[in-house]
Amino acid sequence: MTNTDSAPAPVTPVPATPISVLNALPHPVITVDGAGMIIAANDAAEHFFQASVGFMRRHKISYFIPFGSPLLELINQVRDRQAPVSEYRVDIESPRLPGDKMVDIYAAPLGERPDAVVVMLQERSMADKIDRQLTHRGAARTVSGLAAMLAHEIKNPLSGIRGAAQLLEQSAGDEDRALTRLICDEADRIVKLVDRMEVFSDDRPVERDAVNIHTVLDHVKRLAQSGFGRSVRIVEEYDPSLPPVYANRDQLVQVFLNLVKNACESLGEQPDAEIILTTAYRPGVRLSVPGSKDKVTLALEFCVKDNGPGVPADLIEHLFDPFVTTKTNGSGLGLALVAKIIRDHGGVVECESQPRRTVFRILMPAFSGARDDKTRGGF
């Protein structure tokens, strides 16, 4: 008996074109000829240099990067040696490339054109985010020990001072009564400060569940518009298909309330004051979590953006450290608490700032069904 079933026709693979392969890469890639002209660029390079390929082809690489940049010397080395060269942590920030532009550089000769060099730039942002997050953890532990000491060594004597001031107030005249009232008020203020610091010593696992981040942000927006943010325009740019975040709802409210309040205070009486709340899905960042063999993907991105004056450059690296503040009467604990809460959730928080554009960005894991209790800590 003859088998009449026909064999499946062979499938001929369709080769990917070089440009489609380059466009699939998440890192900027450009090709520079012997005269320094940019002759090719992928999609990531267009985004990085904030220019189209057509515009880039009309300019030399020196047009985009600062004068005397090590990148130019690296390109010359590759051309002279006809061998790849790498360099790490190179700052190529310039007036045409505003913001933090710290990159790792890999440059190699283009085989068919000895004078041409292919350059790939890898932004340091994510590695630096994680480095800063680990610094935040150490700073939070320092505050934890300090809070435990203050709770015992300060709160008890303050209680006695306040009680004595209240007794004096009963027999004091009007002028002295104002002073005793001042003593009581200042004692209460110090106790509240110590209470806020004691939050850092709470190392209990965070109770988490599926949380709709948009309900959290809507709640924060209502609170802001009914009080401290009454004169600020708050814009929502949400991804409606976003999955739930794996988090503690009350703690997320505290995080975004702190961030929005800080933004409102930095905007002051600015007539065009605006805050933008954004949510987006950003797959690709994976971190190991203690107590779990699996890596957690920080796929959810939440941002609080404002058009205020920005954060001073000398404070940006230490913004989430305890007692660092730009406010005259600030305690410097609000952003440190934000960093602790996000760290306890296994997430990452960062700040990018320049005049008229400050962005607080939070990356967190999505909810994916039942989770083991061991994953309820920070990374």
Choose one of 90, 123, 156: the last residue of a domain: 123
The Cα 51–Cα 38 span in angstroms is 12
Mean pLDDT per block of 10 residues along the chain (379 residues) reads 50 51 81 91 87 89 84 88 83 71 84 86 65 55 57 70 84 81 80 64 73 94 88 92 90 91 89 93 62 64 92 79 62 77 85 89 81 39
For residues 132 and 116, membership in a common domain is answered with no
For residues 321 and 226, membership in a common domain is answered with yes
Residues 6+ apart with CB under 8 A from 379: 287, 288, 289, 290, 296, 343, 346
For residues 138 and 107, membership in a common domain is answered with no
For residues 281 and 357, membership in a common domain is answered with yes
In-domain check, residue 286: yes
Choose one of 135, 169, 201: the last residue of a domain: 201
For residues 244 and 366, membership in a common domain is answered with yes
For residues 241 and 109, membership in a common domain is answered with no
pTM of the model: 0.52
Residue 11 has a pLDDT of 47
Residues 6+ apart with CB under 8 A from 330: none
Domain count, the chain: 3
For residues 259 and 355, membership in a common domain is answered with yes
In-domain check, residue 362: yes
Choose one of 92, 123, 154: the last residue of a domain: 123
In-domain check, residue 19: no
Residue 16 has a pLDDT of 43
In-domain check, residue 6: no
For residues 318 and 239, membership in a common domain is answered with yes
For residues 79 and 190, membership in a common domain is answered with no
In-domain check, residue 142: yes
Residues 6+ apart with CB under 8 A from 257: 220, 223, 224
Q: Parallel, antiparallel, or unpaired for β 209-211 and 274-281?
A: unpaired
In-domain check, residue 318: yes
SS3 category, 19: helix
Q: Write a three-state SS string for 71-97.
A: HHHHHHHHHHHCCCEEEEEEECCECCE
Residue 63 sits in a domain of what CATH number? 3.30.450.20
For residues 90 and 170, membership in a common domain is answered with no
Residue 191 has a pLDDT of 74
Residue 219 sits in a domain of what CATH number? 3.30.565.10
In-domain check, residue 308: yes
In-domain check, residue 266: yes
For residues 321 and 350, membership in a common domain is answered with yes
For residues 36 and 113, membership in a common domain is answered with yes
Burial zone of 339 (CB within 10 Å; 0-12 exposed, 13-18 middle, 19+ buried): buried
Show the domain range for 135: 127-201
Residue 320 has a pLDDT of 78
How many CA atoms does the CB half-sphere of 253 hold within 13 Å? Answer: 13
